[in-house]
Amino acid sequence: MRSSSPEQSRRKRVADAKTAILQAATRLFAERGYDITTTRMIAREAGVAEGTIYLYFPSKRHILLSLIRQASVPVVTSQLADTEGQSDESVLRVLFTERIRFGREYAPLLKTLLSEAMHDADLAQQLLQEVIQPLSALVKEYIEKRIEEGVFREAPADIAARVLVGMFWFTIVYDHLLACDPAAKAEVLGSYTPEEYAQWFANLVLGGIAR
Amino acid sequence: MRSSSPEQSRRKRVADAKTAILQAATRLFAERGYDITTTRMIAREAGVAEGTIYLYFPSKRHILLSLIRQASVPVVTSQLADTEGQSDESVLRVLFTERIRFGREYAPLLKTLLSEAMHDADLAQQLLQEVIQPLSALVKEYIEKRIEEGVFREAPADIAARVLVGMFWFTIVYDHLLACDPAAKAEVLGSYTPEEYAQWFANLVLGGIAR
Amino acid sequence: MRSSSPEQSRRKRVADAKTAILQAATRLFAERGYDITTTRMIAREAGVAEGTIYLYFPSKRHILLSLIRQASVPVVTSQLADTEGQSDESVLRVLFTERIRFGREYAPLLKTLLSEAMHDADLAQQLLQEVIQPLSALVKEYIEKRIEEGVFREAPADIAARVLVGMFWFTIVYDHLLACDPAAKAEVLGSYTPEEYAQWFANLVLGGIAR
Amino acid sequence: MRSSSPEQSRRKRVADAKTAILQAATRLFAERGYDITTTRMIAREAGVAEGTIYLYFPSKRHILLSLIRQASVPVVTSQLADTEGQSDESVLRVLFTERIRFGREYAPLLKTLLSEAMHDADLAQQLLQEVIQPLSALVKEYIEKRIEEGVFREAPADIAARVLVGMFWFTIVYDHLLACDPAAKAEVLGSYTPEEYAQWFANLVLGGIAR
DNA sequence: AATGAATGAGGTTTCATTCAT
DNA sequence: GATGAATGAAACCTCATTCAT
């Protein structure tokens, strides 16, 4: 036990530095964007020297790519994982309330990745494969199960999944935009609590807009 | 007549240069992103000297801000303007087929603006005020009218509008991501024509997902 | 005439900046070596901004490659060009005295190129093709002519040329080394004037070392 | 015996590490040049940690300086040491064939030292004093002896030595350059075997170029 | 003695912007 | 008005060297 201690402490320090860099990068990329964020800023924010970054990542861009893996895990093990016994309305409400473990924590990361993927084909491909499609697949399975159970009506599960996932993503983006314009935020969200919002979302998705 | 000709030609030339710069910027920002695009690239693409850009725009960033006005006009005069006599399904189908005057032409521009707005508060605010909210307002009006007419059920029109607009935007973003990954594109879109897709979208939005 | 003036002055300024950069680079590369010399040093020495270098050369390495062309011209149009009527001894003496138009001016450049070519295959190839081989060819021609005239004995002209050219280059290198060690310089060159040196060189090459 | 064993093994290990570093440095400096070679590369090649280098050498530059001593020994104990009874032609032929213990093994090292000495006064001085001058002295002694014996004609032995040593060095440099350009190599060396080459060199040096 | 993670100064290169022509 | 050469700040990245383990 004592013999493994130095090795453990090294590994701990290593993990610390790498984690600090990733956290700093996530924060800065989200706030200011990938291109504007400099390696110097990341280093300062992470509390390490600039050169240290390059012990753990071969280039600035590899930090960005690493963030995808950070996002893919929580997305895939999302709250859709075990919904046994919950009502659909409750499941959807939770998905859009996006407060539990997800929104607050991962929205900045997802926002960054989505934004950068707009002009980086590699990133787009990875984001699609490792984050968006796994989530779509989960949603699709959920819908298929419900169709089989006769609760949802016969419609293409993949298209329905796309509708839902689309709304989920847009919620992240739209919330961000609103955060930049307090007046608009008040006007748009003013009269509803987030829970009411989520409730209506779920209601509309389930029941449709038409009478 | 002759006397006005030099003045006209001057104005024409001025308009030409400014327009050329804006078009070049739109194209390049959309393809490669704002940060990666250099003023030199814009100048070359526009067929003017680098210095000429600064006769029309105080800085590179002002070119980007100018693009918003380019986007706001067509958005506001969108296909929702006169839908008198069309069925809801047809209206929505058209909105998502996004073929008429809109998708092909403005998607790259909107994509760029959306992406940059993720880390530029000013831009976010303007995009919200001049592009997104006007569109939301139009959709909301449409929904309110339908509710009054008893065709849509009693639900908050603003939230419903947000659902629709969200799906609209996500379509642009998702299509872009898919364009970067041919395999995924085939898998996701493979079995449906764009029209079928739009049809199902409209159907789900109107009728809801639940039986 | 007046109309061409601005264009001329531009071209003049352009030529000035490029020439200044090349001269500064030659000086600094020779004194401190290619790797140690920084673009900042070159810019300061040339009296231009660091960025200006990149208007004329795509990279620092291209400055070095450009120097080869600077060297190839004077080498090829060297003093071997017209030796009609001079005695062989006189021709060789002049070659090794290397004072006329050559040594002082081009030795630092050749020294730099030779040194860098030791670990840069591209440079080595170009140096060989554009500087060393042309000079060898000239010397070889000269020797062949002399053999035909019955003045030189029947020996492979190419090997003889290599002997001569080798001694020529080594003179440059050895002189540089001696310049770094005043004591050695005194010991080696002490008792001979440069002219006597050159005289004996010529004599030994022509007559051989053996009795 | 047993008591001296740990001390021996320590010395052995020390020698091992130091030797490994020097060998690695020699190899890398020769292949890629001093500036391009990093301490990390040396450490990896030598099979030690980067920090270990600094237990044996105060700085990277001191490794280079140490290499001179590696070169000086074999140079001074070169094949000129005992030539009793051999013909001059044979001695010279051997010197230029540079096959015996010399060329293959030390050419890369000498090449590197020569190249770096072009812009490092300290190194130049040491190279001169410890490698070049000892060799020159040996050659000079040899020539003086021959002059005394009446075999060589009355000429300044030091200048003649310089001619010979110059050709020797240039052979190393020129061979390196040719190795970078296969086409040129074929053209230059094509029709002669190395032995023929060496034979003619010796012949020309002894007999002179003139009839 | 040996390690290798950490450092941070400094290198090359880019690019928005200015200004003399 | 139009040009494009010139600028220089600042970006990303490297690497000789140090030092806690």
> What tens-digit pLDDT sequence spans chain B (211 residues)?
454 555 555 555 566 899 999 999 999 998 889 999 999 999 999 999 999 999 999 999 999 999 988 877 666 665 666 666 778 888 777 777 654 456 567 778 888 898 999 888 889 998 888 888 888 888 888 888 888 888 888 888 888 888 888 877 777 788 888 888 888 777 766 677 777 878 888 888 888 766 6
The pLDDT confidence band at residue A22, using thresholds 50, 70 and 90, is very high
Window from B192-196, C178-182, D9-13 with minimum mean pLDDT: D9-13
Determine the distance between C58 (CA) and E11 (C1') in angstroms. 16
Window from B48-52, B140-144, D69-73, D200-204 with minimum mean pLDDT: D69-73
Residue closest to F7 C1′ by Cα: C49
Place of tokens 């280079």: D64
Share of chain D above pLDDT 70, in %: 80
Q: Report the alpha-carbon distance of residue D165 to residue D20 in Å, rounded.
A: 31
A55 nearest nt, CA–C1'? E5
Q: Cβ contact (<8 Å) for C117 and D177? A: yes
Q: What is the pLDDT of residue D79?
A: 60
Determine the distance between D57 (CA) and E2 (C1') in angstroms. 15
Range A61-207 classified under CATH 1.10.357.10: yes
Is residue B46 within 8 A of residue B73, CB to CB? The reply is no
Is residue B77 within 8 A of residue B138, CB to CB? The reply is no
Q: Which amino acid is at C63?
A: I
Q: What is the pLDDT of residue A4?
A: 43
B191 Ramachandran zone, left/alpha/beta (phi>0; psi -120 to 50): alpha
CA distance B137 to chain A (A): 11
Residue C112 CA neighbour count, 13 Å, CB half: 26
Q: Cβ contact (<8 Å) for C88 and D125? A: no
Determine the distance between C64 (CA) and E12 (C1') in angstroms. 15
CA distance A150 to chain B (A): 8
Determine the distance between A120 (CA) and E4 (C1') in angstroms. 35
* More confident call, D185 vs D131: D131
Determine the distance between C1 (CA) and F2 (C1') in angstroms. 23
Q: Report the alpha-carbon distance of residue B70 to residue D29 in Å, rounded.
A: 60
Q: Report the alpha-carbon distance of residue B108 to residue D180 in Å, rounded.
A: 50
Q: Cβ contact (<8 Å) for A33 and B120? A: yes
Share of chain A above pLDDT 70, in %: 80
Chain A hits for B162, CB-CB cut-off 8 Å, are 174, 188
The four Cα atoms D183, D189, D194, D198 give a dihedral, to 10 degrees, of -140
Q: What is the pLDDT of residue C62?
A: 96
How many contacts, defined by CB atoms under 8 Å, are there between A and B? 187
Which residues are registered as beta bridge partners of D152? C210
Q: Report the alpha-carbon distance of residue C209 to residue D143 in Å, rounded.
A: 9
Domain ranges of chain D: 1-57, 65-207
Q: What is the mean pLDDT of residues A80-85?
A: 68
Q: Tell me what the pLDDT averaged over chain C comes to.
A: 81
B with C: 3 or more CB pairs under 8 Å? Answer: no
| Best to test chain A binding among B169, B187, B209 (most A CBs inside 10 Å) | B209
Chain C hits for D162, CB-CB cut-off 8 Å, are 174, 188
* More confident call, B211 vs C176: C176
- Give the one of A163, A174, A180 whose C-beta lies nearest to B204's C-beta: A163
Q: How many residues does chain B have?
A: 211
- Listed as ranges, the nucleotides of chain F within 7 A of a protein C-beta are 1-21
Determine the distance between D108 (CA) and F16 (C1') in angstroms. 24
* More confident call, B176 vs A13: B176
* More confident call, B59 vs C156: B59
Q: What is the pLDDT of residue C1?
A: 42
* More confident call, C102 vs D181: D181
* More confident call, C141 vs A84: C141
Window from A58-67, A94-103, A108-117, C61-70 with minimum mean pLDDT: A94-103
* More confident call, A189 vs D171: D171
Closest chain D residue to the Cα of C180, Cα to Cα: D121
Q: Which sign, positive or negative, has the C-alpha torsion D128, D130, D134, D135?
A: negative
Task: Provide CB contacts within 8 A for A77, sequence distance 6+.
Answer: none
Q: Cβ contact (<8 Å) for C159 and D188? A: no
Topology (CATH level 3) of domain C1-57: Arc Repressor Mutant, subunit A (1.10.10)
The pLDDT confidence band at residue A46, using thresholds 50, 70 and 90, is very high
Residue closest to F14 C1′ by Cα: A51
Q: Cβ contact (<8 Å) for C152 and D210? A: yes
Q: What is the pLDDT of residue A131?
A: 85
Q: Cβ contact (<8 Å) for C115 and D115? A: yes
Determine the distance between B71 (CA) and E2 (C1') in angstroms. 65
Nearest to D156 by CA among B90, C196, A211: C196
C46 nearest nt, CA–C1'? F6
Nearest to D107 by CA among D181, D24, D171, D16: D171
The pLDDT confidence band at residue C102, using thresholds 50, 70 and 90, is low
Determine the distance between C45 (CA) and F4 (C1') in angstroms. 24
Q: Report the alpha-carbon distance of residue D147 to residue D87 in Å, rounded.
A: 14
**In degrees, to the nearest 5, what angle opens at C-alpha C120 toward C-alphas D51 and D74?**
65
3-state secondary structure of C210: strand
Token output for D46: 């030598």
Q: What is the mean pLDDT of residues C147-157?
A: 86
Q: What is the pLDDT of residue B198?
A: 80
pLDDT over 80 at D86, yes or no: no
Neighbour count for residue B156 (Cβ, 10 Å): 18
Q: What is the mean pLDDT of residues C70-90?
A: 70
Chain B hits for A151, CB-CB cut-off 8 Å, are 210-211
Which residues are registered as beta bridge partners of A210? B152
Q: Tell me what the pLDDT averaged over chain D comes to.
A: 81
Window from A128-137, B172-181, D4-13 with minimum mean pLDDT: D4-13
C22 exposure class (CB count in 10 Å sphere: 0-12, 13-18, 19+): buried
Q: Give all chains having 3 or more CB-to-CB distances under 8 Å with chain C.
A: D
Per residue, what are the HEC states of chain B? CCCHHHHHHHHHHHHHHHHHHHHHHHHHHHHHCCCCCCHHHHHHHHCCCHHHHHHHCCCHHHHHHHHHHHHHHHHHCCCCCCCCCCCHHHHHHHHHHCCCCCHHHHHHHHHHHHHHHCCCHHHHHHHHHHHHHHHHHHHHHHHHHHHHCCCECCCCHHHHHHHHHHHHHHHHHHHHHHHCCHHHHHHHHCCCCHHHHHHHHHHHHHHCCEC
Nearest to D123 by CA among D80, D55, D60: D60
Place of tokens 């990954």: B181
* More confident call, A93 vs C210: A93
Q: What is the pLDDT of residue A194?
A: 74
The four Cα atoms C30, C33, C39, C44 give a dihedral, to 10 degrees, of -40
Q: Cβ contact (<8 Å) for B124 and A180? A: yes
Determine the distance between D35 (CA) and F15 (C1') in angstroms. 11
Alpha helices in chain D (DSSP H): 4-32, 39-46, 50-56, 60-76, 88-97, 103-117, 121-127, 133-148, 157-179, 182-189, 194-207
Token output for C73: 């011209």
Closest chain A residue to the Cα of B118, Cα to Cα: A115
Determine the distance between C44 (CA) and F8 (C1') in angstroms. 12
Token output for B28: 């390049």
Is residue B79 within 8 A of residue B101, CB to CB? The reply is yes
Task: Provide CB contacts within 8 A for B60, sequence distance 6+.
Answer: B39, B53
Cα–Cα separations (whole angstroms), residue B170 to A167, A173, B106, B162: 7, 10, 14, 12
pLDDT over 70 at C92, yes or no: yes
Task: Provide CB contacts within 8 A for D103, sequence distance 6+.
Answer: D97, D172
Chain C hits for D158, CB-CB cut-off 8 Å, are 188
Is residue A112 within 8 A of residue A144, CB to CB? The reply is no
CA distance A210 to chain B (A): 4
Q: What is the pLDDT of residue C108?
A: 81
pLDDT over 90 at D35, yes or no: yes
Q: Give all chains having 3 or more CB-to-CB distances under 8 Å with chain A.
A: B
pLDDT over 90 at C79, yes or no: no
Of the segments D6-20, D79-93, D171-185, which one has the largest average pLDDT value?
Answer: D171-185
Q: How many residues does chain C have?
A: 211
* More confident call, A31 vs B97: A31
Q: What is the mean pLDDT of residues D175-179?
A: 83
Q: Cβ contact (<8 Å) for C36 and D35? A: yes
Is residue D198 within 8 A of residue D93, CB to CB? The reply is yes
Q: What is the pLDDT of residue A101?
A: 52
CA distance A26 to chain B (A): 13
Q: Report the alpha-carbon distance of residue D79 to residue D97 in Å, rounded.
A: 11
What would you report as the CA-atom Rg of chain B, rounded to the nearest whole angstrom?
20
Residue closest to F11 C1′ by Cα: A38
Q: What is the pLDDT of residue C211?
A: 61
**Multiple choice CATH, C66-207, 1.10.357, 2.70.98, 1.10.3470, 3.90.1690:** 1.10.357
Q: Cβ contact (<8 Å) for C177 and D205? A: no
CA distance A108 to chain B (A): 10
Q: What is the pLDDT of residue B1?
A: 47
Topology (CATH level 3) of domain D65-207: Tetracycline Repressor; domain 2 (1.10.357)
Is residue B116 within 8 A of residue A173, CB to CB? The reply is no
pLDDT over 90 at A62, yes or no: yes
Place of tokens 């003139």: D210
Q: What is the mean pLDDT of residues A69-97?
A: 73
CA distance B13 to chain A (A): 32
pLDDT over 70 at C210, yes or no: no
Q: What is the pLDDT of residue B99?
A: 46
Distance of CA C86 to the CA centre of its chain: 23
How many contacts, defined by CB atoms under 8 Å, are there between C and D? 188
Neighbour count for residue C26 (Cβ, 10 Å): 23
Q: Tell me what the pLDDT averaged over chain A comes to.
A: 81
Q: What is the mean pLDDT of residues A159-175?
A: 81
Residue closest to E14 C1′ by Cα: C51
pLDDT over 70 at D135, yes or no: yes
Q: What is the pLDDT of residue B58?
A: 96
Share of chain C above pLDDT 70, in %: 80
The pLDDT confidence band at residue D209, using thresholds 50, 70 and 90, is low
CA distance C3 to chain D (A): 49
Chain B hits for A128, CB-CB cut-off 8 Å, are 177-178, 180-181, 184
Q: Which long-range contacts (CB under 8 A, 24 or more apart) does D17-24 make?
A: D17/D46, D17/D48, D17/D52, D17/D55, D17/D56, D18/D56, D20/D46, D20/D47, D20/D48, D21/D46, D21/D48, D21/D52, D21/D53, D21/D56, D21/D57, D21/D63, D22/D63, D22/D66, D22/D67, D22/D70
* More confident call, A154 vs B41: B41
Residue closest to F19 C1′ by Cα: D51
Token output for B188: 């996701």
Q: Report the alpha-carbon distance of residue A7 to residue B92 in Å, rounded.
A: 62
Stated pTM of the model: 0.85
Cα–Cα separations (whole angstroms), residue D119 to C30, C106, D125: 7, 16, 11
Q: What is the pLDDT of residue A3?
A: 41
Chain C hits for D41, CB-CB cut-off 8 Å, are none
Chain A hits for B158, CB-CB cut-off 8 Å, are 188
Q: Report the alpha-carbon distance of residue D13 to residue D20 in Å, rounded.
A: 10
Q: Give all chains having 3 or more CB-to-CB distances under 8 Å with chain B.
A: A
Q: What is the pLDDT of residue A100?
A: 42
Of the segments B161-165, C153-157, D27-31, which one has the largest average pLDDT value?
Answer: D27-31
The tens digit of pLDDT for each residue in D36-54 reads: 999 999 999 999 999 999 9
Q: What is the pLDDT of residue A26?
A: 93
The pLDDT confidence band at residue D157, using thresholds 50, 70 and 90, is confident
The pLDDT confidence band at residue A89, using thresholds 50, 70 and 90, is confident
**In degrees, to the nearest 5, what angle opens at C-alpha D36 toward C-alphas D32 and D41?**
85
Token output for D137: 């002295």
pLDDT over 80 at C80, yes or no: no
Window from A187-191, B191-195, D4-8, D77-81 with minimum mean pLDDT: D4-8
Chain B hits for A132, CB-CB cut-off 8 Å, are 174, 177
Is residue C152 within 8 A of residue D211, CB to CB? The reply is yes
The pLDDT confidence band at residue C54, using thresholds 50, 70 and 90, is very high
Alpha helices in D118-154 (DSSP H): 121-127, 133-148
- Give the one of B36, B127, B211 whose C-beta lies nearest to A177's C-beta: B127
Q: What is the pLDDT of residue C81?
A: 62
* More confident call, A26 vs A132: A26
Q: What is the pLDDT of residue D8?
A: 56
- Give the one of D118, D143, D167 whose C-beta lies nearest to C111's C-beta: D118
B43 nearest nt, CA–C1'? F4
Q: What is the pLDDT of residue D3?
A: 46
D with C: 3 or more CB pairs under 8 Å? Answer: yes
- Core vs surface per residue C167-206: b (16+ CB within 10 A) or e: bbbbbbbbbbbbebbeebeeebbeeeeeeebbbbbbbbbb
Q: What is the mean pLDDT of residues C51-76?
A: 88
B154 Ramachandran zone, left/alpha/beta (phi>0; psi -120 to 50): beta
